[in-house]
Amino acid sequence: MRKIAIEEHFTTSALAHYSLPAAALFDPPQWDAARRHLLDFTDVRLPQMDEFGIDMEVLSLTAPGIQAETDTALATKRAAQANDFLAEITGKHPTRFSGFAALALQDPDGAAAELERAVTQLGLRGALINGHTHGEYLDAEKFWPMWERAEALGVPVYLHPANSYDVWHNLRGHEELIGPMWSWGVETATHALRILFGGVFDRFPGATLVLGHMGEGLPGILWRLDSRWDFLDQRGIRLAKPRPSDYIRDNMMITTSGVCAHAPLLGSLLALGADHIMFATDYPLESNHDAVRFIETAPISETDRAKICHLNAERLLRL
């Protein structure tokens, strides 16, 4: 069965230094191998794709990427360079690679313009944002130009984890919980809920947010979100739809990246339906072998497997 993996990472020698804070979270030999693979496209990546039956990867700049740059002009320059580089790679291998644009949200209007250039001129399929931009989250009004452009172009925004703006008090003394094992998922799910309760999807109803890692846990708590929204003080927030889960089902999609387990997949299918789930591996930080074996052996219908493996990505990204 055709497989399109849509959270697959890369870097360049000019951008690799942005990943040093994240690299500090990993076992050094593991990170050294991952870094080599992040810089590679044809020596290891393509042969692995062939070996395990991955037809296409949708590439994105690894975390924290452009969001880590403190100089706005330099962030804008490097985002454009990253997108030009990615377009060159996808142009050389158009049947094997596609890509998501990096955006310098340090300049929201410039980021909207770069998204349009990346989609209409470079052929990229949307944008991937690595968490917050210096403590500012995508529910803020200043980022509406980016949402407006994404909606107009009909392309998704993929929200990928990165380190939190500061270290939560309850993590101090247990720094092993910082990063992809725990805090990144909580941080990213919270960011997504800020976008929802911030009214972004009411203002831009055609916008699509993509969450990796089986939806960062959100599919499992939809009932509780709805129940407690009715019960608690809503603090003056007025949403157009009656339940938070309506937005998660209407405006969000999730991927299987980094969660190669059947139980959360089946739970997500029950919560969201097969039309809202896409295959991803999180390469090179996760195993292509494990991801492919997981989806090929999942106890689901072949119709649902086809949607998850390639049909939903083809529809969303117009591949």
User: Could you tell me the two tokens for 309?
Assistant: 């493996």
User: Could you tell me the two tokens for 222?
Assistant: 């939809």
**For the residues 226-232, what does the mean pLDDT come to?**
92
Kindly state the percentage of the chain with pLDDT values over 70: 100
Model confidence over 139-173: pLDDT tens digits?
999 999 999 999 999 999 999 999 999 999 999 99
Residue owning tokens 């939190």: 164
Q: Which residue has the higher pLDDT, 55 or 163?
A: 55
User: Could you tell me the two tokens for 173?
Assistant: 């003394």
User: Could you tell me the two tokens for 73?
Assistant: 């002009």
Q: Which of 107, 282, 290, 304 is catalytic?
A: 282
Q: What is the pLDDT at residue 61?
A: 97
**For the residues 9-32, what does the mean pLDDT come to?**
86
Q: Phi-psi bin for 135: left (phi > 0), alpha (psi -120 to 50), beta?
A: left
Whether 319 and 284 have beta carbons less than 8 Å apart is answered as: no
| Residue 4 pLDDT grade (very low, low, confident, very high; cuts 50, 70, 90) | very high
The residue among 144, 109, 102, 105 whose CA lies nearest residue 126 is 102
Q: Is 43 a catalytic residue?
A: no
Residue 23 has pLDDT above 80, yes or no: no
Q: Which residue has the higher pLDDT, 34 or 147?
A: 147
Bridge partners, 252 (sequence order)? 209
The residue among 233, 277, 235, 236 whose CA lies nearest residue 259 is 277
